[in-house]
């Protein structure tokens, strides 16, 4: 029973990781950009959300509704002003640029919010739970998982069915040929990053609800997004989701073996996948 409980908790944890991983999978899949500032953007959005809540007395839902459009705008501006200048066949310039951005963002946040840990008051939602057959399931993790599934599904449909999705896939397959077909790659990239960071708006609210955030927490979130995306296979949306589940379950079972072993268990599974199937579970060889 306790192992089944560990599995359930792991899946729920995976829901949180999926919200980090989707945006990273999208940006890597389309532009081959590995965004080192991914985790810092989550923390920045969380802190902005927390400030909104304390300044105007907003609950989590109004914060979410304000934060997601803000995140979309941030992503668009980030791509237009920084990433479009470094994107290209060589992954190194964008890696260095986003690493620099990560350091700059952490210092900026430290300056504005200080090093204190904060969290978003959820009005009790964060401590509610449901009992199903002897297993207690937190309401918030269930919401997180449902939202993560909906985001994955929505992103997948968007990529497959919409004009923007086709343009994204075309630019991902061959950017020069996409331009020859009338696509403006930089406009498509700006929208892709807008969507990727927009998803982080959701992640930011849930992260701030379920635990505390501090300006230096970004890199720790980044590593989970990385691991989930690599386990699943870089560039695949459902791969990122499944990778997040694998990571969450590994950690859930690890925590049950020993409370200190949980995070390490996730890293070990990640390393095993990297060693035996480097293209990821769903990646093309």
Partner 1 sequence: MTAVLSTHGLIARYGDFQALYGVDTELNAGEAVALIGANGAGKSTFLRSIMGLLPVSRDMVRLDGEPVGGTPTDRMVQKGIAIVPEGRRLFTGMSVEDNLRVAIDQATRVGAKGGWTLGRLHQLFPILKEKARTPVQSLSGGQQQMVSIGRALLCQPRVLLCDEFSLGLAPKVIREIYAALPEIRAAGTAMIVVEQDVGLAQSATDRLYCMLEGRVTLTGRSAEVTREQIGEAYFGAGHAVV
User: Which residues of the shown chain bind partner 1 in the complex (CB under 8 A)?
Assistant: 163, 166-167, 169-170, 173-174, 176-185
| Tokens of residue 18, six digits | 């999926």
Q: At 237, which helix (H) or strand (E)?
A: helix 237-257
Rounded least distance, CB 120 to partner 1, Å? 40
Rounded least distance, CB 176 to partner 1, Å? 7
Please say which residue, 164 or 261, places its beta carbon nearer to partner 1: 164
Rounded least distance, CB 179 to partner 1, Å? 4
Rounded least distance, CB 181 to partner 1, Å? 5
Compute the Cα dihedral for 87, 201, 221, 227 and give only its sign.
negative
Alpha-carbon gap, residue 3 to 68, rounded angstroms = 36
Please say which residue, 186 or 267, places its beta carbon nearer to partner 1: 186
CA-nearest of 137, 140, 135 to 124 is 140
Please say which residue, 180 or 285, places its beta carbon nearer to partner 1: 180
Please say which residue, 95 or 187, places its beta carbon nearer to partner 1: 187
Please say which residue, 135 or 183, places its beta carbon nearer to partner 1: 183
CA-nearest of 194, 211, 196 to 46 is 211
Alpha-carbon gap, residue 77 to 194, rounded angstroms = 8
Please say which residue, 29 or 248, places its beta carbon nearer to partner 1: 29
Rounded least distance, CB 160 to partner 1, Å? 9
Are residues 120 and 208 in contact, defined by beta-carbon separation less than 8 angstroms? yes
The DSSP symbol for 127 reads G
Are residues 105 and 41 in contact, defined by beta-carbon separation less than 8 angstroms? yes
Please say which residue, 7 or 183, places its beta carbon nearer to partner 1: 183
CA-nearest of 211, 235, 254, 198 to 75 is 198
Rounded least distance, CB 235 to partner 1, Å? 10
Alpha-carbon gap, residue 70 to 197, rounded angstroms = 9
Rounded least distance, CB 156 to partner 1, Å? 14
Alpha-carbon gap, residue 155 to 236, rounded angstroms = 11
Burial class (CB in 10 A: 0-12, 13-18, 19+), 7: middle
């Amino acid at each position: 029973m306790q192992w089944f409980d560990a599995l359930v908790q792991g899946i729920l944890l995976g829901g949180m990781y999926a919200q980090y991983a989707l945006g990273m999978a999208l940006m890597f899949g389309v532009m081959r950009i590995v965004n080192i500032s991914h985790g810092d953007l989550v923390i920045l959005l969380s802190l902005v959300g927390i400030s909104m809540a304390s300044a105007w007395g907003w609950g989590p839902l109004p914060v979410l509704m304000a934060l997601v459009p803000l995140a979309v705008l941030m992503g668009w501006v980030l791509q237009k002003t920084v990433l479009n200048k470094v994107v290209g066949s060589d992954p190194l310039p964008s890696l260095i640029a986003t690493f620099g951005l990560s350091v700059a963002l952490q210092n900026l946040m430290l300056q504005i919010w200080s090093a204190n840990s904060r969290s978003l008051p959820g009005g009790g939602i964060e401590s509610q739970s449901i009992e199903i057959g002897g297993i207690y399931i937190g309401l918030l993790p269930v919401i997180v998982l449902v939202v993560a599934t909906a985001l994955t599904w929505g992103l997948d449909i968007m990529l497959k069915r919409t004009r923007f999705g086709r343009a994204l896939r075309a630019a991902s397959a061959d950017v020069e040929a996409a331009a020859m077909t009338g696509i403006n790659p930089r406009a498509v990239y700006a929208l892709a990053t807008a969507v990727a960071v927009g998803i982080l708006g959701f992640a930011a609210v849930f992260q701030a609800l379920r635990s505390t955030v501090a300006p230096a927490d970004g890199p720790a979130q980044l590593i989970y997004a990385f691991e989930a995306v690599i386990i699943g296979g870089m560039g695949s949306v459902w791969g990122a989701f499944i990778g997040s589940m694998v990571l969450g379950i590994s950690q859930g079972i690890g925590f049950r073996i020993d409370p200190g072993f949980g995070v390490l268990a996730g890293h070990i599974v990640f390393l095993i996948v990297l060693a035996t199937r480097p293209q990821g579970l769903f990646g093309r060889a």
